[in-house]
């Protein structure tokens, strides 16, 4: 927009310009192209397929799929190509799931392997559901609206890759052949998913150049953040938190919140266990299902399943209302099944609760809290464990005013997670172990996932403090090839090694990971002796760091002004 007037005139002129540019980018012949009402139809040549696949990492499989699309439909649009890309992934995953029984074979006589198979089956079902949702979303979108769906598509497709990797990761250490079979069997589906992510980027880039809006017939200028969005603080939430949710989270007086069910060990509620309360979840839920868990230690394994969405659970405080368990990998469980509490259903929120795993440092992987729930929010909660305390497995997650403690890789997973204004406590590990706060699991570069720790404090536990310089402690290590972690505006204690980060094994992922720091403070924040890996970004500039704040990183571009939680919109200062 210039001087309040459209740069282009009538809508017909705008359509011709957009069509012409799209055709040039797609390699078509403008003289052969037409457009329909609300939709641009591109007549493409083989160069169109090359253009669609240009940004993909696995071009051969992309070209093979896209050639089939063009052979069937010479007027295929970018939307058609993307639908085909998602459909072939869906077919791959469904085929693998149907054949998984033969892959596991008689190995399921081992209880842990059987558990791993059940985990895989669940994870691949989640993948199928989200691929179906992605296919429907693309199918329901006209070309000019596809860019508006970009964030959701990338979120879902990134989660699909996480599910694939998680399936493989559940296999016990003593079954390397089985693990390889699963990895090989899912490799094509994972690579195709990476290609689909790249295609979303490619299609969006064409539309974003012009901010196409066929409804108004003009180029919409890029959306700018208002002064409110630029503020350094205030009482605000991510855009997905509704007005009613803000009241639930922000209420200092729990008596003001009317729960659907009350859990109390002393019998003063409707149920004595959280598991029993979840059975009361209504079939046709409208709004939130609110569970109040009174003070007490609840020794039970809890899972909020995929079909239970919008559950809000609150307690009397993270040291008063505690869900506890002691499952571990050493005890015969998979990493996922070791979790004391698992939030799978979308939109889960928790406030003023504690989640613990008491297996101890010798239990190896022993998860206190596992989260797959998209748009999950934890406020004033506590997660205590040793190795693998908090499993941020997939999707978008936000943690505020929480305490997280552990030893080895105790914040790990392949999600897009922001941990803000939290206390991160590093505990004393087993004698032969080293501490790593994070272990992010991004497999492919175009996944929109990463761990962000903002305005937190990273400190040693009382038991670690006397020996904090003898036991090596690091900010993180790369679990997967493109591990991504950003620490910013955080106080880092003196016990964190000067090199800051540790390798996983040899030179694995050191060139491809993305580790960065910004505006940190404290004796452990000095970066002059940090690692010299190619993937280590060092201290990034403000503009780069801003991409990892809650707004852009969690799609929180629209912020709501009223809430009870103090929330940093951008930077601390």
Residues serving a catalytic function are 409
User: What is the arrangement of strands in the sheet containing 349-351, beginning at the earlier edge strand?
Assistant: 261-263, 289-293, 311-314, 349-351, 376-379, 396-400, 416-420, 450-454, 484-488, 514-518, 536-539
> Strand ranges (DSSP E) for 259-368?
261-263, 289-293, 296-299, 302-304, 311-314, 321-325, 341-343, 349-351, 354-357
For the chain, how many residues are written?
573
Tell me how far apart the alpha carbons of residues 544 and 548 are, in angstroms, rounded to a whole number: 8
Query: How far apart, in whole angstroms, are the C-alpha atoms of residue 90 and residue 125?
Result: 11
SS3 readout for 410-473: EEEECCEEEEECCEEEECCCCCCCCEEEEEECCCCCCCCCEEEEECCEEEECCCCHHHCCCCCE
Of the candidates 248, 260, 272, 352, the one whose C-alpha atom is nearest the C-alpha of residue 308 is: 260
Q: How far is CA 14 from CA 21, 168, 214, 215, 498, in A?
A: 11, 49, 9, 11, 56
Q: What three-state secondary structure class fits 145?
A: helix
Least Cα distance to 351 among 450, 247, 456 occurs for: 247
Tokens of 563: 């809430």
**What does the DSSP 8-state code read for residue 522?**
S
* C-beta of residue 219 within 8 angstroms of C-beta of residue 73: no
Q: How many CA atoms lie within 13 A of 312 on its CB side?
A: 22
Rounded to 5 degrees, what are φ and ψ at 517?
-135, 150
The neighbouring-strand residues paired with 404 are: 383, 424
Give yes or no for a contact between 441 and 335, defined as CB atoms under 8 angstroms apart.
no
Q: Indicate left, alpha or beta for 312 from its phi (over 0: left) and psi (-120 to 50: alpha).
A: beta
For residue 280, the tally of other CB atoms under 10 A from its CB is 12
Question: 507 to each of 499, 504, 533, how far by Cα in Å?
Answer: 15, 8, 9
What torsion, rounded to 10 degrees, do the Cα atoms 83, 85, 87, 92 define? -170
| Adjacent-strand bridge partners of 297 | 322
Burial profile 225-239: b = 16 or more Cβ within 10 angstroms, e = fewer: eeeebeeeeeebbbb
């Amino acid at each position: 927009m210039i001087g309040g007037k459209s740069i282009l005139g009538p809508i017909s002129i705008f359509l011709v310009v957009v069509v012409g540019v799209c055709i040039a980018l797609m390699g078509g012949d403008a003289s052969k192209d037409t457009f329909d009402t609300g939709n641009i139809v591109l007549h493409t040549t083989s160069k169109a397929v090359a253009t669609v696949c240009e940004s993909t990492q696995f071009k051969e499989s992309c070209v093979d799929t896209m050639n089939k699309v063009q052979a069937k439909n010479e007027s295929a649009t970018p939307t058609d190509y993307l639908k085909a890309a998602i459909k072939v992934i869906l077919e791959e995953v469904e085929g693998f799931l149907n054949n998984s029984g033969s892959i596991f074979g008689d190995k399921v006589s081992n209880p842990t392997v059987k558990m791993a198979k059940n985990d895989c089956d669940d994870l691949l079902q989640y993948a199928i559901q989200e691929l179906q949702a992605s296919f429907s979303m693309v199918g329901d979108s006209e070309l000019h609206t596809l860019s508006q769906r970009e964030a959701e598509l990338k979120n879902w497709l990134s989660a699909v890759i996480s599910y694939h990797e998680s399936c493989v990761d559940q296999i016990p250490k003593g079954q390397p052949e089985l693990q390889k079979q699963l990895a090989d069997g899912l490799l094509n589906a994972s690579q195709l998913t990476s290609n689909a992510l790249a295609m979303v980027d490619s299609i969006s880039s064409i539309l974003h150049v012009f901010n196409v809006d066929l409804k108004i017939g003009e180029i919409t200028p890029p959306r700018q953040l208002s002064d409110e969005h630029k503020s350094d603080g205030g009482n605000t939430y991510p855009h997905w938190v509704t007005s009613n949710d803000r009241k639930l989270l922000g209420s200092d007086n729990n008596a003001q919140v009317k729960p659907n069910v009350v859990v109390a060990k002393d019998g003063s509620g409707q149920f004595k266990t959280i598991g029993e309360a979840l059975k009361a979840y209504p079939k046709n839920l409208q709004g939130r299902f609110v569970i109040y868990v009174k003070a007490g230690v609840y020794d039970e394994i809890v899972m909020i399943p995929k079909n239970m969405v919008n559950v809000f659970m609150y307690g009397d405080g993270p040291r008063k209302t505690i869900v506890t368990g002691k499952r571990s990998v050493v005890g015969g469980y998979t990493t996922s099944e070791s979790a004391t509490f698992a939030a799978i259903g979308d939109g889960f929120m928790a406030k003023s609760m504690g989640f613990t795993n008491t297996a101890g440092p010798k239990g190896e992987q022993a998860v206190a809290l596992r989260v797959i729930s998209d748009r999950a929010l934890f406020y004033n909660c506590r997660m205590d464990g040793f190795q693998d305390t908090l499993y941020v497995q997939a999707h978008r997650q936000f943690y505020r005013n929480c305490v997280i403690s552990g030893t080895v890789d105790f914040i790990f997973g392949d999600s897009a997670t922001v941990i803000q204004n939290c206390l991160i406590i590093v505990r004393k590990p087993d004698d032969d172990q080293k501490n790593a706060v994070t272990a992010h699991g991004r497999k492919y570069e175009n996944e929109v996932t990463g761990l962000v720790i903002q305005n937190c404090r990273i400190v040693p536990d009382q038991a670690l403090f006397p020996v904090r310089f003898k036991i090596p402690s690091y900010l993180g290590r790369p679990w997967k090839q493109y591990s991504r972690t950003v620490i910013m505006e955080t106080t880092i204690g003196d016990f964190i090694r000067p090199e800051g980060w540790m390798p996983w094994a040899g030179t694995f992922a050191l060139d491809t990971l993305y580790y960065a720091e910004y505006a940190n403070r404290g004796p452990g924040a000095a970066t002059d002796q940090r690692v010299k890996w190619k993937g280590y970004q060092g201290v990034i500039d403000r503009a780069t760091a801003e991409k990892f704040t809650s707004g852009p990183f969690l799609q929180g571009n629209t912020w709501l002004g009223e809430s009870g939680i103090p929330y940093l919109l951008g930077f601390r200062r």
